Structure 1
């Protein structure tokens, strides 16, 4: 049976993976004949960076954990709400022609830049991982694996249905992260 901790980690992973998923959909839409090697490389890089960034954030957060322990639930809520809100805002921004879906996944440099860009939010979420779990290594593996899987799926969906709903997916990810922030805040405030 899944514990609340495991379910929370899965929701965090799915929320964080939405940026990578949306970019993968765009990549699949931009290149209808996407090669499996390029899709796999994109998924591996997205998964690896999504796993690495929360680990870096967690390590940084451990350095000042004692200082913010009395306010950690507010910090977690603030970070998750800000990241989620940013994702929702960006999902509603109108894309210009220059911002279209031209994602050259055959270029390693482009893949690395996209990997960093889609995982920056995970860095901030990593600071909050200690509030969710004591099993940080397992959490970052779950985040990486889910991002890998959703990125591959995104490439395939992009090939089939284009970018019709790519922005909506990012909004869903933002709502998930805000929901987790509210849950953490409520648990601490009600538990007192």
Structure 2
């Protein structure tokens, strides 16, 4: 794979994490750059590790990984998205009561859910001549940048649309999961 292909792949792998990060940023009480970078780092590390795991599994058992990845991603994103939607429809949270930061485990679960497709990509890369370590690092770096930007975009969207931003973020996660599932089941081109 050439550099341009690697960069395009990295950008494509980070777009769903960006969408999730916008929702995460919107639900926080005025997130600062430090929290955005923390979120980006968590997502980026996970997004860099999953293609490596997929590549290793692809070397051993590619059909197993690719036959279930879409169901895993869909399930995780559905649960996380429905949780956000439910929270968004609960009684309004005053700005002062919004969390200042999300828990590590919530961010890690969301990061994992949005990176399952990177695991499948890693499995596919096991069959071509590619430096998986530099490719995974590029995907992780792109995700770190996109998620950091996404949290800060969410900060401004959250202020503009209030608590309903959490509903929108949850709907985005459910939509991402549904698209992943539909693509793998052959309903989308």
Answer yes or no: is 1:107 the counterpart of 2:100: no
| 2:115 counterpart (119, 122, 129) | 119
CA RMSD of aligned residues (A): 4.1
Asked if 2 retains the 8 angstrom alpha-carbon contact of 1:39 and 1:105, the reply is no
CA distance in 1, matches of 2:102, 2:25: 12
The one of 122, 126, 129 equivalent to 2:125 is 129
TM-score by length of 2: 0.64
State the distance in 2 between where 1:52 and 1:103 align. Answer: 28
Counterpart in the other structure of 2:162: none
Change (3 A) 1:168 1:23: closer
Is it true that 1:52 corresponds to 2:49 in the alignment? yes
- Matched ranges for 1:55-94 at <5 A: 55-64=52-61
Give the superposition deviation at 1:38: 1.9
Length-normalised TM-score, structure 1: 0.63
Q: Which runs of 4+ in 1 moved over 3 A?
A: 93-100, 102-106, 130-133, 162-172
- The alpha carbon displacement at 1:143 in A equals 0.2
1:131: how far off? 4.5
Partners of 1:131 and 1:32 in 2: CA distance: 45
Deviation, 1:117, is 2.1
Q: How many residues matched?
A: 165
- Aligned partners of 1:34 and 1:159 also within 8 Å: yes
